[in-house]
Structure 1
């Protein structure tokens, strides 16, 4: 039993939740800031146009803003969920001398882990594929660059500020994949706790039924 009455597996789970919380905030902030640099337009799956006369870059095609809102919303929901669990378990550890989790709630936790991992996977694929599509248009239309990251150093037409668009989308994607890795670890920790609970219930069941089904000893 550790500090505040939390078992070490629950404490490890809370540490992983804290990592997911940080990743969710970074992912949501990166997408939102990048969207703000392009006047609220979502540049995922977009196209970049190069003006040969003024040597400015501009966004020729953009996606629906709801696409970026979806990616940000998923990350924010994950962050809120993790923060709520951290607060709940810290409160439970302070109030109760011993914290125990039932099999039903562990099953619910496993279900939530699977659901959030699926949503994060969809979100990560959207950012990855959308960014690659944008980068392909930049490499095809801008003659003076050799990589998508070089487009950040080009001059963008007002009101766009694209000096960090690649870094922002890359940071968001990386945070999503790290968060998925943390959720895999959380799922493993919850499964270990579930096995412990099932094992304890089995031991109690055998101990309760043993007096009724014990065979009488033979008399020699």
Structure 2
């Protein structure tokens, strides 16, 4: 019976999930920026005037830009390495000598750190924005601001759905942090197992032991019985 490598198989599933959650974490930020005329509300300050919420100062555009454009790199890497792992699993590529595991560890660690920073920027910036929104006694919570008319200087923005968008973005972003943590751990386990396979490799009949124990276990190579 063919036995599938659980480390590589689990990584493929998590890479697929990461693709989805990474997109979910950035699209709502872009939608919110679009509603506010391309401006960033992370860390923005507002004032309440009768029935209108006036934005006195927008947040730094680079904050939203970092959270949004980081997704391009995380999605591309998850797509590329996830596809590579799936191809290796399908072809039974020998993971100890052929799969690029050490680069995966370094990149996953980098992605984990960058996504953690991005999530902190997103959560702290939106928290500061909500604190400014709820500074007025007439607004009980940040979500109530969606029922008010928004304006910036003399320009009326209208009603906006910022709370639902940013809450979704935050949840997805922190879930991505957890996924990159899992991928880093799996890559380390993969690397550790590869070292064990290499150190225990024995040459028999022109093939190393590592050549007969690939990503799909118990598979007999041509000419071997």
TM range (shorter): 0.7 to 0.9
Q: Please report how far the alpha carbon of residue 8 of structure 1 lies from its aligned counterpart in structure 2 after TM superposition.
A: 2.9
SS in structure 2 at match of 1:156: strand
Moved more, 77-86 or 100-109: 100-109
The structural deviation recorded for 1:22 is 0.9
**DSSP-derived class of the 1:105 partner:** coil
Aligned partner of 1:22 among 20, 23, 32: 20
Which protein has the bigger helix share? 1
Kindly state the Cα deviation for residue 103 of structure 1 after the two structures are TM-superposed.
8.4
Provide the C-alpha distance between the structure 1 equivalents of 2:96 and 2:160, rounded to a whole number of angstroms: 49
CA 1:159–1:33 in 2, change beyond 3 Å: closer, same or farther?
farther
Number of aligned residue pairs: 200
Gapped runs of 5+ residues in structure 2? 205-225
- The structure number with the bigger radius of gyration is 1
Instruction: Give the aligned partner of residue 101 of structure 2.
Output: 106
Q: 3-state DSSP class of the match of 1:49?
A: strand
SS, match of residue 181 in structure 1:
helix
> 1:70: which partner in 2?
66
- In the aligned structure 2, how far is the partner of 1:110 from the partner of 1:196? 14
CA RMSD of aligned residues (A): 2.3
Shift in Å, 1:20: 1.2
TM-score by length of 1: 0.82
SS of residue matched to 1:62 = strand
2:183 to 183, 186, 197: 186
Are 2:96 and 2:197, in contact at CA under 8 Å, matched by a contact in 1?
no
Q: Which has the higher strand share?
A: 2
Query: Which residue does 1:216 correspond to in 2?
Result: none
Q: What runs of 5+ residues in structure 1 fail to find an aligned partner?
A: 208-220
Distance, in Å, in 2 between the alignment partners of 1:161 and 1:174 is: 26
Q: Helix, strand or coil for the counterpart of 2:200?
A: helix
1:217 corresponds to which residue? Answer: none
Which residue of the partner structure matches residue 144 of structure 2? 150
